[in-house]
Amino acid sequence: MPTLPDFRLETYFSRWEFSARYHLTASDAQSLPMSELLALADDDGRRRWESLELGYTETRGLPALREEIARTYDGLEADDVMCFAGAEEGIYLAMRVLLEPGDHVVVLTPNYQAAETIPLDICEVTGVALRPENGWALDVEAIERAVRPTTRMVSVNFPNNPTGAVPDPAAWTRLVRLCDERGIRLFSDEVYRGLELDRQPLPQATDLSASALSLNVMSKAYGLPGLRIGWIACRDRDVLDRLERAKHYTSICNSAPSEILALIALRARDRLLERNRGIVARNLPVFAEFFARYPELFEFEPPQGGCVCFPRYAGPEGVEAMCTELVEQAGVLLLPAGIYSSRLTPTPPDRFRVGLGRLDPEPAIDAWGNWLERRR
């Protein structure tokens, strides 16, 4: 088996996610109790849940679930969708299936680590950074300059984790067109799509390109990470055939209860996403007021989409020490910039990730504020 580097985020979370008193860096929207999710079920969903037998499921995913996923795109069918055990399995298998030694990939940074470390284990990779001085804007020209004759894939994530950046629609369209013109597959991680507050979501990559792959999951915008249901949508069905054969070596199939619960949630997606956007909208002024109390320490810009953002910390001890001392002394968990370090591009060393999608962040913010006051 190939040797991959430690997954820094998951290693850090293994230490702190369930032991810290306050999880203020969560990447998902607030989840629902099972009773509330089941209350959203239509008659068919309730019947499926109550009559479910716990056998194996289809490798590609429950047909009714894939049909419902396809309805979230423009003109796709169930056969254009492949389900996975979360988004990470989709990322891992897509990179393993589509890339070979001698290929070249362009990866946007900062990013979810697997989007960088898995292709680096296979082939040559060039990073193109979102830069804070440019408002984390998508630089299509920089991507074009990075492209080589051997480039097989451009990998992006919007709304971006950890910055919350969303590209200008014109820049997004230019990127899709660039990939199509050069015969490059666009791998588009779209797991936060639907949590935009002041703009329309971007068109999904697979709606714009016959070769693009769109990744999504129930974990982030839908706030149901415990289901472990993700998917890739792609109109190139040969790619999905190859992914199915690769999945035979990993999860083989998804959890039957999770597929039914995901189907129930997706049939109620408008209500679910409206609820989660409402949580982010209510939390934004709470965080903005907190950061405004300490202008000498923090620079805060709300995310353009999603429920995470990447504020700046200007304290003299640096962001890594601040995050370590804060969780050890006050039980408040944040993610320091080092978690997002990259072998491809410099990562701003003075940033940290905050999650805005959980209910009732005030106790955590109060504990953080009290800790800062004690240090003055």
Per-residue pLDDT in tens (0 to 9) along the chain, 376 residues = 458 999 999 999 999 999 999 999 999 999 999 999 999 999 999 999 999 999 999 999 999 999 999 999 999 999 999 999 999 999 999 999 999 999 999 999 999 999 999 999 999 999 999 999 999 999 999 999 999 999 999 999 999 999 999 999 999 999 999 999 999 999 999 999 999 999 999 999 999 999 999 999 999 999 999 999 999 999 999 999 999 999 999 999 999 999 999 999 999 999 999 999 999 999 999 999 999 999 999 999 999 999 999 999 999 999 999 999 999 999 999 999 999 999 999 999 999 999 999 999 999 999 999 999 998 7
Domain limits for position 303 = 8-33+270-375
Domain presence at residue 124? yes
Nearest to 209 by CA among 164, 247, 156: 156
Classify strands 335-336 and 104-109 as parallel, antiparallel or unpaired.
unpaired
Q: Which residues contact 127 (CB under 8 A, 6 or more apart)?
A: 106, 107, 108, 109, 116, 342, 343, 344, 345
Instruction: State the Cα–Cα distance between residues 41 and 47, nearest whole angstrom.
Output: 9
Which among 267, 282, 302 is the end of a domain?
Answer: 267
Domain presence at residue 132? yes
My answer on whether 25 and 130 are in the same domain is: no
My answer on whether 164 and 255 are in the same domain is: yes
Chain centre to alpha carbon of residue 251: 20
My answer on whether 277 and 252 are in the same domain is: no
My answer on whether 285 and 166 are in the same domain is: no
My answer on whether 181 and 289 are in the same domain is: no
Please give the model's pTM, rounded to 2 decimal places: 0.96
Domain presence at residue 234? yes
Which CATH number does the domain housing residue 321 bear?
Answer: 3.90.1150.10
Which CATH number does the domain housing residue 149 bear?
Answer: 3.40.640.10
My answer on whether 56 and 151 are in the same domain is: yes
My answer on whether 56 and 177 are in the same domain is: yes
My answer on whether 81 and 202 are in the same domain is: yes
What pLDDT score was predicted for residue 354? 98
Which among 243, 267, 291 is the end of a domain?
Answer: 267
My answer on whether 67 and 153 are in the same domain is: yes
Domain presence at residue 40? no
Domain presence at residue 322? yes
My answer on whether 228 and 290 are in the same domain is: no
Q: How many domains is the chain built from?
A: 2
Domain presence at residue 209? yes
Domain presence at residue 1? no
Domain presence at residue 39? no
What pLDDT score was predicted for residue 2? 55
My answer on whether 361 and 233 are in the same domain is: no
My answer on whether 173 and 149 are in the same domain is: yes
Tokens 């639907």 belong to which residue? 194
Instruction: State the Cα–Cα distance between residues 20 and 230, nearest whole angstrom.
Output: 27
Which among 223, 241, 267 is the end of a domain?
Answer: 267
Phi then psi for residue 205, to 5 deg, are -60, -40
